[in-house]
Amino acid sequence: MKYIIALDQGTTSSRAVLFSENGEVVDIAQKEFSQIFPRPGWVEHDPEEIWNTQHGVLTEVMNRNHISPRDIVSIGITNQRETTVIWDRYTGQPVMNAIVWQDKRTVPICEEMKEEGLEKYVRENTGLVIDSYFSATKVAWILRNVAGAREKAEKGDLVMGTIDTWLIWKMTGGKVHATDYSNASRTMLYNIRTMEWDHHLLCRLDIPENMLPSVYPSSWHFGEFNMDGTSVPIGGVLGDQQAALFGQACFNPGDVKNTYGTGCFMLMNTGEELRESSSGLLTTIAWGIGRKVYYAFEGSVFIAGAAIQWLRDGLRILDATEDSEYFAGKVANNDVYVVPAFSGLGAPYWDMYARGAIFGLTRDTGKAHLIKATLQSMAYQSKDLLETMQKDSGLEIHTLKVDGGAAMNNYLMQFQADILGTLVERPAVTESTALGAAYMAGIQSGLWKQDDIPGKRKIDRIFKPVISSEERSRLYNGWKKAVSRTQGWLNEE
Ligand code: ADP
């Protein structure tokens, strides 16, 4: 038996997922690591702890299944995106902890960039909006604030990387300093038109180019990990959301996946041609494979599963998030809308002054109505995103592929199909992120062919729309009206 292992380096835990040669999950090992909060708004990870936990779970999953390095055809890496590490190219020592994507310390650097009028340039050349999320300002911050870092960087002694790059460096014993297109496209330093590091932005942020990794396709021989004398190739690398898009076999333009977690992450494959959104969606590189590069639109819902947690922990009207399905089934009709704009609204509204509200309350409204309406809000917000993607890409959407914790909720998925008027497909293996990295590695090693993957995937369930188009319009118009009443809330007299 041959295996592929995916290393899934997430924001709160490191996981190793063992796949059989048939693409089935054999076993998963997982270990959480420390979240470091040095000040309000700052979030760091210890790069050595990331590596130790990642290496630890890899060993654990192999030992538990009595697998030797020779049984592993290839390793795929998928990772939390944007999080940035800078280390010494000679000693391998990080100059400080990794600055995590959630970290807000570089907001002032973003403001500087906006004041310099760089927004249009950044959007057109990196596909992104200027935000502290992305790696660029994190690198600039480290060079400005860590004692001696600027001098060492000017001398060429320092290198930077996103987490994939750090793991590749560690696995190859410092021989390889590389990343893939999908991760590079999240740095806000990579020009997704010319497919090279962007000189203009490097210059503006005073970042020496020799700090940056080489950029390769996502399915590529990145190097070898020496395990007890056996060299195991690293054959696939891609950022977590793009990995999920690939793992869901969204290989063609117009294919979309939505991950229902704390927030929702929706990505649409827009093909080989770079498209720009007029509604504030991000344009990102989905992956590079062979000689081709595929682009994607990306949008997110800030509050999705988090609203269900609010029902459970804030309002205490649910014992467990899964019980929401039961309560949604208890009330038939529904004219209640919950708009969970707890911290404003993202695409397509982009309103940081919006705040949450509940509409349509009557004397008979009970907790089941609130729970049902909150589940529906995830589907409505996802529809808002999907409509935007459809409009900005001009591509027709037939099926939405879903994953993430809340995609297990059958009521929510049926309502999603109803409100979209498209099929909603839930795969049997919901480990889409790990699967995407495994597919890339498997394709690189020749174990799998990309064309065979869609036929091999097992579907758990397809949800078909059952409501009439009149009913769909009535419901969605109600949602739009509810959203409009929350907009600009903090600004009003
Ligand atoms: P993340 O990766 O963002 O932590 P997960 O994919 O683990 O998220 O999903 C957890 C989120 O999904 C939580 O916010 C939880 O409230 C929500 N959730 C999980 N199961 C259900 C369910 N059956 N119905 C509705 N929401 C759910």
* Interval between CA 368 and ligand 1 midpoint (Å): 19
- Position 343 scores a pLDDT of 83
Q: Which atom of ligand 1 is nearest to the CA of 259?
A: 6
CB of 410 shorter than 6 A to ligand 1: no
CB of 365 shorter than 6 A to ligand 1: no
Q: What mean pLDDT comes out for the span 253-273?
A: 94
- Position 280 scores a pLDDT of 87
Q: What is the pTM of this model?
A: 0.92
The sign of the CA dihedral 444, 449, 455, 458 is negative
And the tokens for 452?
Answer: 């065979």
Whole-number Å distance between alpha carbons of 213 and 215: 6
- Give pairs for 310-314: CB < 8 Å, separation 24+: 310/340, 310/342, 310/374, 311/370, 311/371, 311/374
- Residue with the smallest CA separation from ligand 1 atom 2 is 261
* Interval between CA 260 and ligand 1 midpoint (Å): 7
pLDDT in tens, 407-440: 999 999 999 999 999 999 999 988 899 999 999 9
- Residue with the smallest CA separation from ligand 1 atom 23 is 322
Q: 182 — phi, psi (to 5°)?
A: -65, -40
pLDDT in tens, 219-250: 999 999 999 899 999 999 999 999 999 999 99
CB of 404 shorter than 6 A to ligand 1: yes
* Interval between CA 405 and ligand 1 midpoint (Å): 4
Q: What mean pLDDT comes out for the span 181-201?
A: 96
* Interval between CA 434 and ligand 1 midpoint (Å): 18
pLDDT in tens, 152-167: 999 999 999 999 999 9
* Interval between CA 409 and ligand 1 midpoint (Å): 9
CB of 309 shorter than 6 A to ligand 1: yes
CB of 477 shorter than 6 A to ligand 1: no
- C-alpha 323 chain-centroid distance: 27
Q: Which atom of ligand 1 is nearest to the CA of 308?
A: 16
More confident residue, 280 or 384: 384
- Tell me the pLDDT band of 193, cut-offs 50, 70 and 90: very high
pLDDT in tens, 318-374: 999 999 999 999 998 678 999 999 988 888 898 888 999 999 999 999 999 999 999
3-state helix, strand, coil in the chain (%, to 5): 40, 25, 35
CB of 13 shorter than 6 A to ligand 1: no
DSSP strands (E only) in 80-126: 84-88, 98-99
Contacts of 175 (CB under 8 A, 6+ apart): 223
- Residue with the smallest CA separation from ligand 1 atom 13 is 305
Q: Which helix (H) or strand (E) holds 165?
A: helix 163-171
The residue to mutate among 258, 308, 312, 371, having the most atoms of ligand 1 within 8 angstroms of its beta carbon, is 308
The residue to mutate among 12, 35, 321, 342, having the most atoms of ligand 1 within 8 angstroms of its beta carbon, is 321
Q: What percent of the chain has pLDDT over 70?
A: 99
The sign of the CA dihedral 424, 430, 436, 438 is negative
DSSP bridge pairs for 374: none
DSSP strands (E only) in 142-240: 158-162, 178-180, 190-191, 196-197, 214-216, 219-227, 230-239
* Interval between CA 135 and ligand 1 midpoint (Å): 27
Say which amino acid occupies 214. Answer: S
CB of 102 shorter than 6 A to ligand 1: no
- Position 493 scores a pLDDT of 55
* Interval between CA 45 and ligand 1 midpoint (Å): 24
Whole-number Å distance between alpha carbons of 80 and 205: 23
Q: Which atom of ligand 1 is nearest to the CA of 309?
A: 16
